[in-house]
Amino acid sequence: MFSKVRGGSRLRAAAVAAVVATASAVAVSGAQAQEPVDYVNLGDSFSAGAGVQPTVPGSHPNCSRSERNFAHVVAASRGYALTDVSCGGAKTEDFYRAQYPGLAPQLDALTESTDLVTMTIGGNNNNTFAMAMARCIGAAVARLGAWNPCQEQYGDSLADEVRTQTYPALLQALRDVHDRAPNAEVAIVGYPWLLPASGSCVPQMPLAAGDVPYLHSLQATLNDAVARAAAETGTVFVDMAQSSTGRDGCQTPEQRWIEPMIGALQPVPVHPNAAGEQGMADAVLAAVG
């Protein structure tokens, strides 16, 4: 009789130990599940949300990093732990160097524990956006009434710079992002359309009518370079071409995602407004797991 009781006690003790062990495992698993996704946002002014107020407190004033940029919207939507080192004016070179005194190279934000990386980058390489826009506005002023003075002057040279210089720089930058964050899902966002495919954009963008499709085509070349670099490196390409069509800087304030050169409603023209950053966030949320 006594031996049976003692055996039953041992069984009950083993059962209790198993329950305790299971509960501990569940508790540990639950704690791990509650750890937020380690999310890092890199990149340039489109990634930083330059011009969209308010800016992130304590961030470098030259970076114009917005609390409403697409990365902040994504992080808030999913409860991710965001480290945002995006900065207006950044080139791929700034992944490796201090863009301004006191700023670390952007790649320094990445570690083996990083789960998700997003960015826009490449538009400032060779001053593709700013210089092309300035050159074409200058050409329109110098040759009033000409149909496509910028295209006549520069031809395919601007697009060739993207193909031969920006593309390999993007390729290397994305490879290095993956090396620094080997366990992360990496996504690069294409640039939303600044201009329509055709038509005059005066007065919002003081360009000759024939140079509007010329600059649109240049941006398409840049986005193609981004997409090809993403495909080559196993990076998610977040394509903004379809969703941003009809929302360029030539549209009405209610419709546009890009603020125009003339009549901008934010401090940084020819950049996404809050609606544009939200549109980019929606595209990222649909693309990444």
**Residue range 100-156, pLDDT digits in tens:** 999 999 999 999 999 999 999 999 999 998 999 999 999 999 999 999 999 999 999
Mean pLDDT of 65-91: 98
Are residues 24 and 48 both part of a single domain?
no
Predicted local confidence at residue 17, as pLDDT = 52
Measured distance CA(109)–CA(115) in Å, rounded:
12
Are residues 42 and 163 both part of a single domain?
yes
Mean pLDDT of 15-39: 59
Are residues 189 and 254 both part of a single domain?
yes
Mean pLDDT of 160-167: 98
Q: Write down the H helix ranges in 92-156.
A: 128-142, 149-154
The total of structural domains in the chain comes to: 2
Range of the domain at 3: 1-35
Are residues 94 and 20 both part of a single domain?
no
Q: Are 122 and 166 spatial neighbours (Cβ–Cβ below 8 Å)?
A: yes
> Higher confidence at residue 137 or residue 17?
137
Predicted local confidence at residue 213, as pLDDT = 98
pLDDT category of residue 34 using cuts at 50, 70 and 90: confident
pLDDT category of residue 2 using cuts at 50, 70 and 90: very low
**Residue range 103-115, pLDDT digits in tens:** 999 999 999 999 9
Are residues 14 and 156 both part of a single domain?
no
Mean pLDDT of 227-255: 98
Are residues 8 and 106 both part of a single domain?
no
Q: Is the pLDDT of residue 60 over 90?
A: yes
Predicted local confidence at residue 150, as pLDDT = 97
Measured distance CA(112)–CA(180) in Å, rounded:
7
Are residues 19 and 77 both part of a single domain?
no
**Three-class secondary structure of residue 241 per DSSP:** coil
Rg value, the chain, Cα: 25
Measured distance CA(229)–CA(251) in Å, rounded:
31
Predicted local confidence at residue 280, as pLDDT = 98
23: exposed, middle or buried (Cβ count in 10 Å: 0-12, 13-18, 19+): exposed
Catalytic residue among 47, 86, 244, 271: 271
Other Cβ atoms closer than 10 A to 184:
22
Measured distance CA(214)–CA(272) in Å, rounded:
21
Predicted local confidence at residue 176, as pLDDT = 98
Are residues 5 and 52 both part of a single domain?
no
Computed over every residue of the chain, the mean pLDDT equals 92
The two structure tokens encoding residue 9:
């006690």
Q: Provide the percentage of residues in the chain whose pLDDT is more than 70.
A: 89
Catalytic residue among 3, 45, 216, 244: 45
- Answer yes or no: 216 catalytic: no
CATH number at residue 103: 3.40.50.1110
Are residues 79 and 192 both part of a single domain?
yes
Are residues 14 and 93 both part of a single domain?
no
Single pTM value for the model: 0.88
Q: Is the pLDDT of residue 24 over 80?
A: no
Other Cβ atoms closer than 10 A to 33:
7
Q: Is the pLDDT of residue 5 over 70?
A: no
Predicted local confidence at residue 129, as pLDDT = 87
Are residues 50 and 80 both part of a single domain?
yes
Are residues 69 and 196 both part of a single domain?
yes
Mean pLDDT of 83-93: 98
